[in-house]
Amino acid sequence: MGRVEGKVAFVTGAARGQGRSHAIRLAQEGADIIAIDLCGQIESAPYPMSVPADLAETIQAVEALDRRIIATQTDVRDFDAVNKAVSDGVATLGRLDIVAVNAGITSYGGAIDLSETMWQDMMDTNLTGAWHTVKAAVPHIIAGGRGGSIVLTSSAAGLKGFPGIAHYSAAKHGVVGLMRTIAQELAPHMIRANTVHPGCVDTLMINNEATYSLFAPDLSAPTREDLLPRFESLNVLPIPLIEAIDVSNALIFLASHEARYITAVTLPIDAGTLIK
Ligand SMILES: NC(=O)c1ccc[n+]([C@@H]2O[C@H](COP(=O)([O-])OP(=O)(O)OC[C@H]3O[C@@H](n4cnc5c(N)ncnc54)[C@H](O)[C@@H]3O)[C@@H](O)[C@H]2O)c1
């Protein structure tokens, strides 16, 4: 028996990175998947975002595990679209138990230098998008009457400020407020809500020139090799980056019966960034 055998999980931002890893990990442990991703560019994100071929790869990986997946190109900023994607998924897969609120973007700038667009895109995606996901998903979990688990991806920057990402940090702190509230409101339905707080994760959100320049403003064309020691200096454990699977393994625990009485927890997966 898998740890989430027979359950259905809704994963946002599932085309690549941590979202794809979550979808695969959940499928390995027996869940069917409802997956959404924008598969397109938000202009204020200074790095290439996912494309439809990425989501196709996630579909293939889940199906290779003999699990079902209903995947659509859907923008978490559009509540009606998210609501339709979840409803259509539940209509086909029959239930909803687990939500991985994962879709997100980043961009960089000093707090007083951020443009209105950078601020608003961040809030719309990383905070309002998280609320849209919860708002669309929860009625289906309640209707099932079996309880459920919501895991929202915040960040180390959701528990601490870091220079250059005021809007990201504000949105990710906001995700914690959302989690702490729904943990109380949904507890009578045996629906748990927790946040995960990754440090720097080895995905394309980090592996791009804009991020390298944030961490190495003194270098004209910083490379990944230049950056690894700087990422490592953020951690207490002597590693530069955590892997998407490290976050997925925390998520599968929080989603499973093993965590049945764990709710409203803010769980760092950060190689010790937050104790530094
Ligand atoms: N990579 C890191 O270092 C790191 C650290 C802490 C937290 N996080 C968070 O982890 C989550 C996953 O990020 P990742 O590292 O896998 O990056 P990623 O860029 O590889 O994946 C993010 C996915 O979210 C999707 N997405 C973005 N905006 C969307 C929208 N409006 N609607 C639907 N989908 C959208 C993207 O298309 C992409 O596929 C994000 O919430 C991010 O903020 C990342």
pLDDT of residue 43: 97
Clarify whether 168 is annotated catalytic.
yes
The terminus-to-terminus CA distance of the chain in angstroms comes to 39
Query: Would you say 250 and 208 are in contact if contact means Cβ atoms under 8 Å apart?
Result: no
> Does 77 sit in the ligand 1 pocket, CB within 6 Å?
yes
Closest ligand 1 atom to Cα of 247: 10
pTM equals 0.99
* Closest CA to ligand 1's atom 43: 104
pLDDT single digits (tens) 123-149:
999 999 999 999 999 999 999 999 999
What residue type is 226 in one-letter code? Answer: D
Query: Would you say 265 and 185 are in contact if contact means Cβ atoms under 8 Å apart?
Result: no
pLDDT single digits (tens) 4-37:
999 999 999 999 999 999 999 999 999 999 999 9
pLDDT of residue 225: 95
> Does 75 sit in the ligand 1 pocket, CB within 6 Å?
yes
> Does 271 sit in the ligand 1 pocket, CB within 6 Å?
no
Q: What does the mean pLDDT of the chain come to?
A: 98
Q: Give mean pLDDT, residues 61-78.
A: 98
How far, in Å, is the centroid of ligand 1 from the Cα of 126? Answer: 9
Percent of the chain with pLDDT over 90: 99
Closest ligand 1 atom to Cα of 103: 24
CA separation for the pair 273, 276 (Å, rounded): 5
Q: What are phi and psi of 100, to 5 degrees?
A: -110, 105
User: Inter-axis angle of helices 244-255 and 17-28, to 10 degrees?
Assistant: 50
Q: Give mean pLDDT, residues 193-198.
A: 99
Closest ligand 1 atom to Cα of 129: 31
Output the six-digit token pair for 33.
């998947």
Q: Give mean pLDDT, residues 223-248.
A: 97
Single out the catalytic residue among 47, 168, 212, 261: 168
How far, in Å, is the centroid of ligand 1 from the Cα of 6? Answer: 27
Q: What are phi and psi of 70, to 5 degrees?
A: -110, 110
Output the six-digit token pair for 242.
């955590």
pLDDT of residue 202: 98
Total residues found in the chain within this entry: 276
How far, in Å, is the centroid of ligand 1 from the Cα of 95? Answer: 25
How far, in Å, is the centroid of ligand 1 from the Cα of 29? Answer: 23
CA distances from 201 to 85, 96, 161, 184 (A): 28, 28, 17, 30
